[in-house]
Amino acid sequence: MPDLSKRTLQLGTENAFVVLAEVEARIREGRKVYSFCIGQPDFPTPPNIGEAAIRAIKEGRTGYTPSAGIAALREAVAGAMGRGRGLDIRPEDVVVAAGCKPFIGYTIACVTDPGEGHEVIYPNPGFPIYESQIRVQGAVPVPLHLRESRGFGFDAGELARLITPKTRLVILNSPQNPTGAVLSDGDLDRIADVLRPHDHVWVFADEVYSRLMYDAPFSSIASRKGMLHRTVIADGASKTWAMTGWRIGFAANKPLAPHFTRWVTNTESCAGHPNQYAALEAITGPQDQAEKMKRTFRERRELIVGLLNQVPGVTCQLPGGAFYVWPNVTKACKMTGARDSEELRKLLLHEAGVAVLADIHFGHRVPGDGEHVRFSYAASTDAIREGLARVAEFVKKRKR
């Protein structure tokens, strides 16, 4: 067989889907598994959104659209993005794609060149596609560690030390996957102060969980003085309206929007036509179902954090947003004889019937911070109670 490219061979993946395949294999064997590994709402898409897509199909809206998206959706996104961040965003600065994820690659491709040693600073632990796309685009990944002692927030001083003349992009994610941490107003002010003198550095603000904030209003780095023009604001329909499979995401940035549009033309042509009308209804229609989902996630957050902190050898901070918790399981590993969090994850799946993700699925372990796993609490209250009971029983049974 002819050789594959080095780029293809080094392309990373999203291990949530790998573990999900393991879970499904166990289920096919007739085993009961409580899964906390996948990051998607466990609710159906609100009916009015599905009906909008059906209307679009019946009206024949099934062909190509402009690569940047239909005008009505871009206008709605610009308005909603602006209102939620206190910004004036123009519809022509918005581009729609098949999910928020493509904009990670598009942004890196727009602002870095392979072979030039251009650096991209990204959060660690973080969404695994950040590092994967940095590498495959030929840039240099520079991890910025999120430490438990800081509530998994950014250290602006450490960020300042990492910026070099080769830095081209800083990736921010708040609320964050996998920790659920939120960058406070003070954090964002300090980050903006660090970045402002470095006018050669772009910012990718992954704000796909912006509507899932539980203890404070959402705030964006783009709203800080001098930051809007150089910040790509990325958001989408997946998390807020339970639309992961609809694949609709959007990004806003005035200078990069025309280039994003050309990238869409070169890759996906356009996002699904009827899906865009579904997203339009999601943004402009009634928000009662989205608010109900958010309230439910908040209740589950309180439940799962409380139960995790009752498990021997486990400690868990209360996250400020998204639907993830990032408990420290260092002592639980020692108590059960697990070598590390990945071995603990495997033991939990095969012996307790509980599926989670390990910290190594989200980057390199932060030096000195111990072992962690991620639970997604996009699962029913009954599943959380039973799953955590199984975890506690597993630790007690294997305790050395």
What whole-number distance in Å separates Cα of residue 250 and Cα of residue 272?
13
Q: Is the pLDDT of residue 335 over 80?
A: yes
What pLDDT, on the 0 to 100 scale, is given for residue 277?
Answer: 98
Q: Is the pLDDT of residue 74 over 90?
A: yes
Domains of the chain, residue spans = 6-44+289-398, 47-284
Q: Is the pLDDT of residue 67 over 90?
A: yes
The Cα-based distances of 82 to 70, 93, 231 in angstroms read 18, 11, 14
Residue 6 Ramachandran class (φ > 0 left, ψ -120 to 50 alpha, else beta): alpha
Question: What is the CA angle 53-56-59, rounded to 5?
Answer: 150
Residue 357 pairs in a beta bridge with: 374
What pLDDT, on the 0 to 100 scale, is given for residue 339?
Answer: 96
What whole-number distance in Å separates Cα of residue 380 and Cα of residue 26?
20
47-284 carries CATH number 3.40.50.300: no
What whole-number distance in Å separates Cα of residue 307 and Cα of residue 384?
9
Angle formed by the axes of helices 47-58 and 273-284, nearest 10°: 140
Q: How many Cβ atoms sit within 10 Å of the Cβ of residue 255?
A: 12
Residue of 274, 392, 383 lying closest to 32 (CA atoms): 383
Q: Is the pLDDT of residue 400 over 90?
A: no
Residue of 244, 180, 168, 170 lying closest to 209 (CA atoms): 180
Q: Tokens for 318?
A: 């209360």
The per-residue DSSP string of 368-400 comes to TS--BEEEE--S-HHHHHHHHHHHHHHHHHH--
What pLDDT, on the 0 to 100 scale, is given for residue 250?
Answer: 98
What pLDDT, on the 0 to 100 scale, is given for residue 12?
Answer: 84
What pLDDT, on the 0 to 100 scale, is given for residue 389?
Answer: 98
Average pLDDT, the chain: 96
Q: Is the pLDDT of residue 57 over 80?
A: yes
For 101-157, the pLDDT digits (tens) are 999 999 999 999 999 999 999 999 999 999 999 999 999 999 999 999 999 988 899
What pLDDT, on the 0 to 100 scale, is given for residue 23?
Answer: 78
For 217-274, the pLDDT digits (tens) are 999 999 999 999 999 999 999 999 999 999 999 999 999 999 999 999 999 999 999 9
Q: Tokens for 75?
A: 């206008």
What whole-number distance in Å separates Cα of residue 55 and Cα of residue 400?
61
What pLDDT, on the 0 to 100 scale, is given for residue 197?
Answer: 96
pTM for the full model? 0.96
**Overall size of the chain counted in residues:** 400
What pLDDT, on the 0 to 100 scale, is given for residue 9?
Answer: 86
What whole-number distance in Å separates Cα of residue 369 and Cα of residue 326?
12
Residue of 243, 252, 172, 238 lying closest to 209 (CA atoms): 238
Assigned architecture for domain 6-44+289-398: Alpha-Beta Complex (3.90)
What 3 state SS string does 60-75 have? Answer: CCCCCCCCCCCHHHHH
Q: 3-class SS at 45?
A: coil
| Average pLDDT of span 352-375 | 96
Cβ 367 vs Cβ 327: under 8 Å: no
Q: Is the pLDDT of residue 184 over 90?
A: yes
Q: Tell me the chain's radius of gyration from C-alpha atoms.
A: 21
What pLDDT, on the 0 to 100 scale, is given for residue 27?
Answer: 82
6-44+289-398 against 47-284: fold identical: no
Higher pLDDT, 185 or 9: 185
The Cα-based distances of 81 to 4, 57, 110, 369 in angstroms read 41, 27, 22, 35
Alpha helix stretches (DSSP H) within the chain: 6-9, 15-28, 47-58, 71-85, 102-111, 128-136, 156-162, 185-195, 257-267, 273-284, 288-308, 330-336, 341-347, 381-398
For 265-314, the pLDDT digits (tens) are 999 999 999 999 999 999 999 999 999 999 999 999 999 999 999 999 99
Q: Tokens for 378?
A: 């996009």
What pLDDT, on the 0 to 100 scale, is given for residue 251?
Answer: 98
- What is the amino acid identity at position 145? H
| Average pLDDT of span 37-62 | 96
The Cα-based distances of 384 to 22, 38, 300, 320, 337 in angstroms read 20, 14, 8, 19, 24
What whole-number distance in Å separates Cα of residue 207 and Cα of residue 178?
13
Q: Is the pLDDT of residue 17 over 80?
A: no
Q: Is the pLDDT of residue 91 over 90?
A: yes
What pLDDT, on the 0 to 100 scale, is given for residue 256?
Answer: 98
For 193-222, the pLDDT digits (tens) are 999 999 999 999 999 999 999 999 999 999
